[in-house]
Amino acid sequence: MNIIITKDNQELSEKACGIIEKQVNDKPDSVLGLATGGSPLGTYKQLINGCQERSVNYENVSTLNLDEYIGLDKNDPQSYHFFMKKHLFDHINIRPENTYIPNGKAVNLGDECERYEQLIDDIGPPDLQLLGIGQNGHIGFNEPGTSFQSETHIIELEESTRRANARFFDSLDKVPKQAITMGIQSILKSEKIVIIASGERKADAIRSLLEDEPDENMPASALRAHKHVTLIVDEAAYQKAGH
């Protein structure tokens, strides 16, 4: 695992952006795996700047998102469809038909999981997958205890995850209790993985990722088996590692 330590979230976002832009410039029809939540927001701002100011071209890029809440329509302001449009897709020259996110309103959710996993194989797997890490070590919405062999599936969200995401909703009660997520095996299909972590709240998860043996109770630890992982972490998130 290649580790890049930055002084703050701004530098972290710039480093992550640089890696993604190099991927797109080197391979204009790249498939990017994308994440949502607070972690990638700074990176997405940098990518927008790169498209608008440095002429980075996303016209032939395809994207596969990690997850979506079950029960939210894609036009719901709290859905990850809406999130991606608001924070990235509407501001770069990517073709909407080349952006893929699970359908949380599918009539048959089991069929949707199978469809999306097939899509990962048909369109991807991603050349580069961007990940955040939850305070409990989740990647995508793969909560502690998820099998390292899992493919796209339905997950019951832990209370800690729902509380962490409640800041995006009017109240905790409004946070969905289930999601569709790429599984850990789905994520590991990616050619390259970039995982970003910022802030003191992530310090325990980063220490565990780097120092503990891989364990399904720490989903991100599955990344230790991948051949090409870059961890970009700021000093606050890295402070408990290596002690």
Task: Cite the active site residues.
Answer: 67, 136, 138, 143
Spatial separation of the C-alpha atoms in residues 40 and 184, rounded to whole Å? 19
Local structure of residue 139 (DSSP, 8 states) = B
The answer to whether the CB of 13 falls within 8 A of the CB of 233 is no
Residue 228 CA from chain centroid, whole number:
16
Spatial separation of the C-alpha atoms in residues 222 and 219, rounded to whole Å? 6
Residue 192 CA from chain centroid, whole number:
13
Q: What residues pair up with 2 in beta bridges, in sequence order?
A: 230
Task: Please tell me whether residue 28 adopts helix, strand or coil conformation.
Answer: coil
Residues of the chain by 3-state class (helix, strand, coil), percent to 5? 40, 20, 40
Spatial separation of the C-alpha atoms in residues 53 and 33, rounded to whole Å? 23
Count the alpha carbons within 13 Å of 81 in the hemisphere toward its beta carbon.
Answer: 17
Closest CA to 47 of 36, 38, 55: 55
Q: What residues pair up with 128 in beta bridges, in sequence order?
A: 32, 192
In one letter, which amino acid is 110?
A: G
